[in-house]
A and B are shown apart, each in its own frame.
Chain A
Amino acid sequence: MNIRKLKDAFAGRLMLAAALFSSLIVLLMAIILYLRSRPILEVKTLNDLLLGSIWMPFQGKFGFYPFIMGTLYVTLLAMVIAVPLSILSSIYLAEYAHENVRTKVLPVIDLLAGIPPVVYGVWGVLAVVPAISYIAPVIGNLGIPFLTVKGYSTGYSLLAGGIVLAIMVFPIIISISEQVLRAVPFDIKEASLSLGATRWQTIKHAVIRIAYPGIAAAIILGFSRAIGETMAVLMVVGNVPNIPSSVFDSAYPLTALIANNYGEMMSIPLYDSALLLAALILMLVILFFTVAARLILIRIERSMAYG
């Protein structure tokens, strides 16, 4: 009897410790990143660092602006591609697809989430990059804003990164949105349909209204996945530190900057500190989006509880 109680108490403590440990690690990481990036923060203003666009470590110029923009652009482009497609897929799966189709397709989509990023990267290099270098001259000469090509495009571009990232984000948005849509009470659909609405009208006017906070959370989770993704992006995005003005330009996201350079040329003064600052910026951005997603999820649960 006592041994059982003891075990129980022990298990409780152990789990508490595990939980504390993992949250502590996040905190420790942030603190260490901050301490290690202090040297550069002491000699440069935050303004210079965040808004400077020249990256020349040898001359002591560390402008993060192209990298921050690279990260934001590639993530945004990925979301622009992924959000409409994956929401339409999830609507199809939740509302139109036959049970048989749904039960076969959903596991495949979940499988997509488990493929290692490097495989997506290789696929990007072998399939997406050549395809883009092929279409770039055609589209690039039409003079459409954001779709112009200066000189020629190798295919290693914002667009390649966006497409590869979009495909990596699909499974997250699709499977969460599908669940959210299917959780919409049947009553609501019944009410709308019995008034003579078509299925699409029902989805557009009634179902989405209930599901949108959940879908928003799915999008935010997809966003934080995309913004932190490194390997697949750095393989296809070109890694040139300029501010892209067209989707056919190369870009250089923060993640790629850190992964490509950390551990090399560390003798350059402040270089190490600059890279760790990049990591800190990235972490803060991701933290921001994760917290936002959490808050939205909490709101959904509330609204469900109080009807």
Chain B
Amino acid sequence: MGISVGLGLRREITEALLHLENQKPAFLEVAPENWMEIGGYWGNLFHQISEKFELTAHGLSLSIGAKDELNIPFLKRLKSFLDEYSISLYSEHLAFSTMNNAHLYESLPVAFTDESVKHISTRVKQVQEILERKVILENVVYYTLIDQELSELDFYNAVASEADCEILLDFNNVFVNGKNFNYDPYEFISKIDTSKVSYLHVGGHQEQNDGLLLDAHNNPIKQEVLDLIRKTKHNFNADKLLFERDANLDDLNELLAEIKRIEKSLE
């Protein structure tokens, strides 16, 4: 089974995507929080998009790692959205983005500890029950470690096993975290429980002056990351790989060319 390549839906490229005839991305990934419960101009375009493309979802505000109570009414609204547009793949960040129920609208790192594994797994099970879908948790980029007891690798495998959820493996994030925290991305991929990996991501990153790599999603994918895909693709059963771009979205053709580069590495 081959891996097909999709693109993240952003407002800047929505109209251009609707006009595409050939060479369409295989699917589009949407952030539910940006498209749910809206009407008017964007609601209308989104509806057209959903008729033309298969959709996957990548959530923003679940805050699975937070200590706050889960927001059940929100999860129910989210489920209606996923059901309405027949979206079966729902992924989120293994991170937290709220503190005392206040949103920071960014993914902050959770501690890689046994306690976190337990806490997060309990919550994931609850979410899966409400959404009636598996939650697919992404290996996020982190810039600091907090009270580390487990390696990142063991932490992800433990959560996936204990929560009975799935993993979104972001190749760029493995590469970036590997560089920033001095581990081998190939080893990470060889040891992650690939039977749990059901969805894949890749995007561009940026290097700061001090050498720290940032998960910027604003530029072309680095060749080393494409090489990582090329050399490890046979490890995975997942059949969807998403190209993430959050900025510099003026030229859809450039994004389609990036997709071609990714497809080449999958040949």
Q: Do A and B come from one complex?
A: no
Using a CB–CB distance below 8 Å, which chain B residues touch chain A?
none
